[in-house]
Structure 1
Amino acid sequence: MPTSRTLLVIPLAVALFGLPTASAPLAAAPATDVTLPLLVTRGKAPAAALLTREDPWPPAAPGQPEPQAAQQPDQQPRWHFTQASQTTTGHTSGSYVGTSTDTSAGTGSAAGTGPSAPSAPGLRRTDHFRAGSITKTFIATVVLQLAAERRLSLADPVERHLPGLIRGTEFDGRTLTLRALLTHTSGLADYTTGTKGLIPVTPLEAVRTALALPATTPGRWSYSNTNYVVLGMVIRQVTGNSYATEAARRIITPLSLSGTSFPGARTTLPSPHGRAYTSEGQDVTALNPRVAGAAGELISTLADLDRFYAALLGGRLLPAAQLHQMLNTRAAQGRYGMGLYPQKLPCGTTVWGHNGHIAGSYVRTAATRDGDRVLTFRVNTDGIADPTLERTLLSAEFCT
């Protein structure tokens, strides 16, 4: 669940879902096909996979789903899938297998292998996995939709929606705003410092844990999972529904994200799925998502995450004013917007997205500002040996 740049030292086992057609010709191998294997060699991850998506469609109206391929026969999104793995599930040993790639336009199954074909060690392109803090982009989107509907204001104090929740020697919910929560400038400590991200807690327990920890400086950016746990509570108070219900109604269903869900306390992953390992090799595939809640509970697939970020940045989920607020990083000193953060690459290109880290899983999604090109990669472990690899991979995709 921790934030982007502090988690570059996390291994990445990426399983991405490509949607090629059997008759589509293979394009020249992208640069990412060369850099992806580094995640299992220098990065020492068991496996890695990557899915990129290019969408030439013009933005739909906010809140409207993406047109289906049948409606736009000459303007289908292009997908490219690549993967790499070791021959064993241990990520400190085992021989390197290599990469396989599929490039296509539109939807369908790859030539020679269906979308559920396994890839050593047990990853599939259609696998469900824990997406960690990518959950925050979903939560921020719901809050900004509610702001657009005038059901709340980002200037609202927490006290207006959750009376008495935040009271302490250093904090008062009467002055702490929703904007500060969204931008990680509240000063609230990260409750996972106390739970280590391993102890399931209720939202109220998470807040109480955070209030017992040393605060950071209000007004200064400091990533804290507590902020988004509180926002999840605000969503329930404003709508009468859980954040999971609202995200499903407003995002998951309209965009047909069939592999995306909020599992609640369910410890298992939907099928198909691979295995998840700690950096020490312990199998943590079964996990109580309440360790993360609104800060990192989400389960998704590679294709769904590509689709979501393309729709969000393409203006399909938020009116222009709210999307502009989401991308405004001034409050967080340029480091974070609202559920999104920018990363400037060596070539000068800036990509937008989020990462997700939870026990046994690391995921990273990045996209161009217009959402026309999106990359998602994942590894099924939580410790990458070489911290430079993520930036290398993004540069290979967006700078060439």
Structure 2
Amino acid sequence: MGTTACRTLEVERPVVHYLPDVPDVDMTVADLVHHTSGLPRLPSTMRDRVFGDLYRETVGVPLDLAAAVPETPRGRYVYSNLGYALLGAVLDEVHGDWFAAVRREVLEPAGISSVTLVPERGEAIGPRLFGRTIRPWALGASAFASAGGFWSTFDDLCRYAEWALEPGADSARTVSWQREGATTWINGEVRAAGAAIVDAAGITAVVHALAKAPHAADTIATAIIEQEYGNRA
């Protein structure tokens, strides 16, 4: 999403330039890309439940632009699914279809063809807990799909990592990744699944975890890098 925005939009423009009904006139597209808009993780009208599907009730309902009200100072990093849903709405306004724009700018150049927002019945592998399949969030079918509603394969996750971290590639490929020192990473979690790509000390770890503790993918990726670094020392 961030890559597509940086390649096709004037990111320093206020979001209201594209979506006049957004309440905050100072928030920029770049703020959405970098999670510095001040927007909360989710609108106050949505309950953040551990066991329920907070996105299912938004399926078929347009994103409420009036709910895009910052709660923290602009410029401070606060992860926001609402912000990326809003970014999807901006790309929809410009391109007509944010997913088509992402496919053109990122997925196809990376050689990724299996990504979908709503997989066909029987195609998705669901995590299991206590012998029961955990029903996935309806994120991909909701107005928040652009905040992480992609379904794909582990092979495609690896293809994305190779493309994003290709030596000499332009910085837009990892514009929405996080950085600390020499470490660069991107991660995400949806209910009982998580993924992380971590690059540090010349070592890249790509991890996908099902039915694990929160942040398990990050923990595993870090352990892989530490072990590999130790082996090289």
Equivalence for 2:3: 141
Equivalence for 1:297: 149
Is residue 339 from structure 1 mapped to residue 208 from structure 2 by the alignment?
A: no
Following superposition, the deviation at residue 343 of structure 1 comes to: 4.8
Equivalences for residues 196-211 of structure 1 within 5 A: 196=48, 198-200=54-56, 201=58, 202=61, 204-205=63-64, 207-209=65-67, 211=69
Name the CA distance, whole Å, in 2 between partners of 1:153 and 1:304.
29
2:82 paired residue among 196, 220, 226: 226
Following superposition, the deviation at residue 160 of structure 1 comes to: 0.6
Equivalence for 1:19: none
Is residue 158 from structure 1 mapped to residue 32 from structure 2 by the alignment?
A: no
Name the CA distance, whole Å, in 1 between partners of 2:84 and 2:197.
19
Match of 1:363, SS state, is strand
Q: Percent identity?
A: 21
2:134 paired residue among 284, 301, 304: 284
CA gap of 1:315–1:234, structure 2 versus 1, over 3 A, is farther
Name the CA distance, whole Å, in 2 between partners of 1:262 and 1:155.
29
2:109 paired residue among 250, 254, 257: 254
Following superposition, the deviation at residue 374 of structure 1 comes to: 3.4
Equivalences for residues 32-43 of structure 1 within 5 A: none
How many residues align? The count is 220
Give CA deviations for 1:131-177 in whole Å, capped at 9, x if unaligned.
Answer: xxxxxxxx01111111xxxxx3111001110111x21xxxx2x2111
Q: TM-score, normalised by structure 1?
A: 0.48
2:92 paired residue among 227, 236, 239: 236
Question: Unmatched 5+ residue regions in structure 1?
Answer: 1-138, 147-151, 328-337, 345-349
Give CA deviations for 1:170-227 in whole Å, capped at 9, x if unaligned.
Answer: xx2x21111111111111112167342632324513x45553xx71222211111111
Equivalence for 1:383: 213
Question: Unmatched 5+ residue regions in structure 2?
Answer: none
Q: Is the 8 A contact 1:310 1:367 kept in 2?
A: no
2:37 paired residue among 186, 196, 209: 186
Equivalences for residues 10-21 of structure 1 within 5 A: none
Match of 1:234, SS state, is helix
Which one has a larger percent helix, Structure 1 or Structure 2?
Answer: 2
What's the C-alpha RMSD, in Å, of the aligned pairs? 3.1
Name the CA distance, whole Å, in 2 between partners of 1:155 and 1:254.
25
Name the CA distance, whole Å, in 2 between partners of 1:217 and 1:281.
44
Is residue 306 from structure 1 mapped to residue 158 from structure 2 by the alignment?
A: yes
- Between 1 and 2, higher relative CO (CA 8 Å, sep ≥ 6) is seen in 1
Following superposition, the deviation at residue 235 of structure 1 comes to: 0.8
Match of 1:204, SS state, is coil
Q: TM-score, normalised by structure 2?
A: 0.78
Is residue 361 from structure 1 mapped to residue 193 from structure 2 by the alignment?
A: yes
Name the CA distance, whole Å, in 2 between partners of 1:269 and 1:355.
26
State the one-letter code of the partner of 1:177: T
Match of 1:377, SS state, is strand
Q: Is the 8 A contact 2:36 2:74 kept in 1?
A: yes
Name the CA distance, whole Å, in 2 between partners of 1:359 and 1:388.
17
Name the CA distance, whole Å, in 2 between partners of 1:397 and 1:358.
28
Match of 1:300, SS state, is coil
State the one-letter code of the partner of 1:261: T
Give CA deviations for 1:93-138 in whole Å, capped at 9, x if unaligned.
Answer: xxxxxxxxxxxxxxxxxxxxxxxxxxxxxxxxxxxxxxxxxxxxxx
